[in-house]
Amino acid sequence: MTMGRIARLGAAFALALTGISTAHAAEADFKTSFDAVLGTEVRKPQSFDAKYAWPLEATVAQIANGSAGRIGVYAVDLASGREVSVLGNQRFPMASTSKIAIAATFLEGVEKGRWSLTSEFPLMVPVASPRFSGSKAPVRPGQYMKAIDLIEIMITRSSNPATDALLAVVGGPAAVNNWASRNGITDFNITRDIATLVRDDGEVDPAHRIDVRDSATPQAMVQLLAGLYQGKFLKESSRKVILGAMERCRTGTRRIPGMLPDGARVAHKTGTLSNTASDIGIIHTPDGRAIAVAIYVTGQGSKPARDAKIASIARALYDGYQATPARAYANANY
């Protein structure tokens, strides 16, 4: 597939999924609105062509039109190190994508002998309480389950009680932040357990404002994925537990996997909160590459529209990386 065809595919996705009815979608206005969206501070408008130096990145940027809500994308070919970044250094709500880091923190404890995958812990079941009625939402112990089963359902089905069970075991959000920091992952912050995060959801509209609580940059999440996939953070046995569960993920079928060809291998984890949807994972291409991808979408008018944005961006990355020669690049970081 030629780069011209990739660019046309990306443009078609963008037009179809954002409801633009004509082929003259004011490119100048698009560039200005995209480059000026809020991050941790207001970003000055800058040249579209200068910012996105290769066709795939420009295609992804056009699909990720920020006029209807911020969209952040970061991807890297783990063989060549070739990167795609569209607002990749801005903060977005992690939502349930944080569960990968929580699982990794627990598995480090397994490797150090603090507990085992057969150790049993109770689900942390939310107890109804008014929004913002305290710094931590009340929970109660539920059914006891083996740790390996808690990891399975927290990743494959995004179980919040299972996540909070393991989060309590490791020592809460501070322990996960410490794990990330020790492994060189910056721009990452878990502040609350999932019960509290869900109870108080909607306090800040992520399409227009940054809330640093429970947030990360797409780049930080790709760094997390890359380190796990390449065995930098955990032993092979722990790596298989997390990546195996991600391959069995049942949520987000219309997100990263949604527009990929039948049979494409994806290991991923979704996240969903008020006015935001996300998906992070590893996409395997037929030519043997592993592409680490983090896509965070806010606004866009509806959940189906957010899902469609993620799917179209993932497909553009899948096609675009295959059309790019797999060679080493001087700026490879992974």
Distance CA(133)–CA(125), nearest Å, equals 17
Of 303, 321, 299, 329, residue with least CA distance to 67: 299
Of 169, 233, 167, residue with least CA distance to 197: 167
Looking at per-residue pLDDT, the higher value among 19 and 190 belongs to: 190
Q: What is the pLDDT of residues 260-273, one digit of tens each?
A: 998 889 999 999 99
pLDDT above 70 for 49: no
pLDDT above 90 for 3: no
Hey, what amino acid is at 46?
Q
Token readout for 118 is 């057969």
* Domain assignments of the chain as residue spans, ordered by start: 1-68, 71-83+91-297
Position 195 scores a pLDDT of 97
- Asked whether 186 and 219 are in contact (CB, 8 A), the reply is no
Average pLDDT estimate for 273-287:
95
- Asked whether 137 and 196 are in contact (CB, 8 A), the reply is yes
Distance CA(168)–CA(226), nearest Å, equals 26
Per the prediction, the chain carries an average pLDDT of 85
Give the confidence band of 17 by pLDDT, cuts at 50, 70, 90.
very low
* Residue 268 β-bridge partners: 281
Residue that the structure tokens 């869900």 belong to: 198
Q: What is the pLDDT of residues 167-221, one digit of tens each?
A: 999 999 999 999 999 999 999 999 999 999 999 999 999 999 999 999 999 999 9
pLDDT above 60 for 119: yes
Using DSSP's 3-state secondary structure scheme, residue 146 falls into strand
Distance CA(219)–CA(334), nearest Å, equals 12
Quote the crossing angle between the two packed helices 218-229 and 236-247, to the nearest 10°. Answer: 120
- Asked whether 279 and 310 are in contact (CB, 8 A), the reply is yes
Q: Which residues contact 81 (CB under 8 A, 6 or more apart)?
A: 328, 329, 331, 332, 333, 334
Q: Is 302 left (phi over 0), alpha (psi -120 to 50) or beta?
A: beta
Give the confidence band of 326 by pLDDT, cuts at 50, 70, 90.
low
Position 46 scores a pLDDT of 34
Of 257, 260, 313, residue with least CA distance to 61: 313
Average pLDDT estimate for 59-76:
92
Using DSSP's 3-state secondary structure scheme, residue 45 falls into coil
CB atoms within 10 A of CB 146: 14
Class level of CATH domain 71-83+91-297: alpha beta
